[in-house]
Amino acid sequence: MDLSEGTDTYQMRTFSVLVMVLLVPFFAKAEDDGRPLWDWGVGLGYVRYADYPASDEYSQIMLPFPTFQYRGEYLRADDREGGRAYLFKSDSWSLEFSGSGRFPLDSSKNKARFGMEDLPLVLNGGPQLVYHSGGTWEFQVAPFFSVAAKNDYIRANGMLLKTQVTYRWEGETPGPFDSTILITGTTSFEMNAASSDYMKTYYEVGSADVRAGRSEYDAKAGFLSTNLSYYQRFAAGRSSLYVGASISDYSWSANRNSPLHKSDYNVGWGLGYIYQFGESAKPMVSPEDTQGVINRYRQHRREQRLIPLE
């Protein structure tokens, strides 16, 4: 059996299904009177991604999923800004809690890692300091704590340091049947470094895992990657279409000499569709009116001091 032919057939079938489903947004009447505080719906997504950082093999997922978006005063989790919990916020600066992650991997399905322990689910989270410039540009610095999880354990996984510059824009264009298509675009450039514990997860080769073409290697801390990504949303009425792609450069990685470092470049992409079934009657809190938990606490303390004592 030709495995490559099977993969190509699967991808073509996936693409055909998505094309038919994703045409729906362009036949709905747009609503541009603001977004609700929360909404829920269902989605269908397809993602192609590298098995692990600097791998030369890829995995793909296509699945339906429920969606819930919230745009509140302290917490925002939506398709424009991602998930953020505001700890402190001013006109130009904010301290937030955010995160990222990587899928697990069955090592038997990857040639470079065949015979090694499966890769765990990796979740990264922590505070990030963000500088906002007019709602269009953002500069972020984030020291994320990492956790690795499998069926039989949850363990600390070191740290990931991320610096990122993000540019966002919004616009609209006329659609068919007197509709309006709202468009949102996001471009991000980021640089990542990681601790030795984090690097060991992906690049360490112990003596028990040595085989032909895979020598023993002790992973070390240092620079990991630079990433350039682009994401775009097309929305009309209750429907939204998402397209996105990213390219990661590992040519300067501190562990480029690891036998598990198989490619200097990884390219990933994805498509998604969401249909919104319900929403709140209350409108969202605008990004300009959001505030952090610390802001609210300080305001509460100030108000208490102003209450006259009887």
Q: Alpha carbon of 301 to those of 13, 186, 191, 298, 304: distances in Å? A: 59, 38, 39, 5, 5
Cβ atoms within 10 Å, residue 23: 12
What pLDDT, on a 0 to 100 scale, did the predictor assign at position 304? 73
3 state SS of 196:
helix
Sequential DSSP letters for 268-296: EEEEEEEEEEEE-SSBPPPGGG---HHHH
For 50-89, the pLDDT digits (tens) are 999 999 999 999 999 899 989 888 888 877 767 788 888 8
Q: Among residues 95, 89, 78, 98, which one has the least CA distance to residue 231?
A: 78
pLDDT at 308: 56
Distance CA 40, CA 253 (A): 40
Q: Check residue 223 and give its pLDDT.
A: 98
**Parallel, antiparallel, or unpaired for β 137-150 and 75-78?**
unpaired
Report the pLDDT value the prediction gives residue 1, as an integer from 0 to 100. 35
The model carries a pTM of: 0.81
Which one-letter DSSP state was computed for residue 117?
A: P
Strands (E), the chain: 38-50, 58-71, 75-78, 82-89, 93-102, 121-133, 137-150, 153-175, 179-194, 222-236, 239-249, 265-279
Tens-of-pLDDT digits for all 310 residues of the chain?
A: 333 344 444 444 444 444 433 443 333 333 434 688 899 999 999 999 999 999 999 999 999 989 998 988 888 887 776 778 888 888 889 999 998 899 999 999 999 999 999 999 999 999 999 998 877 899 999 999 999 999 888 999 999 999 999 999 989 888 777 778 999 999 999 999 999 999 999 999 999 999 999 999 999 999 999 999 999 999 988 899 999 999 999 999 999 999 999 999 999 999 999 999 998 988 988 877 787 777 777 777 777 776 555 5
CATH of domain 3-306: 2.40.230
Q: Are 205 and 189 in contact (CB under 8 A)?
A: no
Residue 113 gets the label, from left (phi > 0), alpha (psi -120 to 50) or beta, of alpha
CA 212 to chain centre: 36
